[in-house]
Copies of this chain bind each other. A is one copy, B any other.
């Protein structure tokens, strides 16, 4: 049985959970707060980052969310999420990596820092300027996803792909933390409503991070 080391607001763990859900692969959750740098976790992964997925029975240890996703694509036939020609597959990977790195760096990471880590670790208030910067960056990103979704139904083309899962993972954490202004982003809002309705997304929507309530509209499919 797979074990996934993660915490509720880890966007990279969310991407893996969405993929596991779409593929119908069972797993158990292990709660891991990477900022605590627990010795046993550092032994598993020197980088100390979630998610990590292990199967002790088969002595398999997978580190890094992109590595886990590629592994699942290669080993589980159901619900292929990196599909199509080599060029289409490149576009799926480009967008997934773009959300994982650029969107994370500019939006999700500063929101997590100000609204989660400061509350849990340093017990200080958020920096309003950093929050404003992250929310302003989110608007630019959603302008671009609007552009993508005006051209086709899903982020990278005509079908659901890893790009949508990566996008939904990042956006859902930013939305939980009140960082997304949905005004004037109809195409992305319609797409996100569809993502929220998927059975793979339900377990994420009902989860809460202790001490950090989500934005009021967070789990509403018709937000």
A residues within 8 Å of B by Cβ?
A: 46-47, 60, 62-64, 66-68, 70-71, 74-75, 86-87, 89-90, 93-94, 97-98, 102, 144
Contact = CB atoms under 8 A, between A and B. Distances in A.
A144 B87 contact: no
A96 to B, nearest CB: 9
B89 A71 contact: yes
A70 B47 contact: no
A interface majority secondary structure: helix
Between A47, A64, A102, the greatest number of chain B beta carbons within 10 A of the residue's beta carbon is seen for A64
Given A62-B90, A74-B86, A89-B74, A97 B46 contact: no
**Residue of A46, A47, A74, A87 with highest tally of chain B CB at under 10 A:** A87
B97 A71 contact: no
Given A46-B144, A62-B94, 13 more contacts: A47-B102, A62-B90, A64-B94, A64-B97, A66-B93, A66-B97, A67-B94, A70-B93, A71-B86, A71-B89, A74-B86, A74-B89, A75-B86
Contacts of A98: 47, 64
Nearest to A93: B67
A144 to B, nearest CB: 7
Contacts of A102: 47
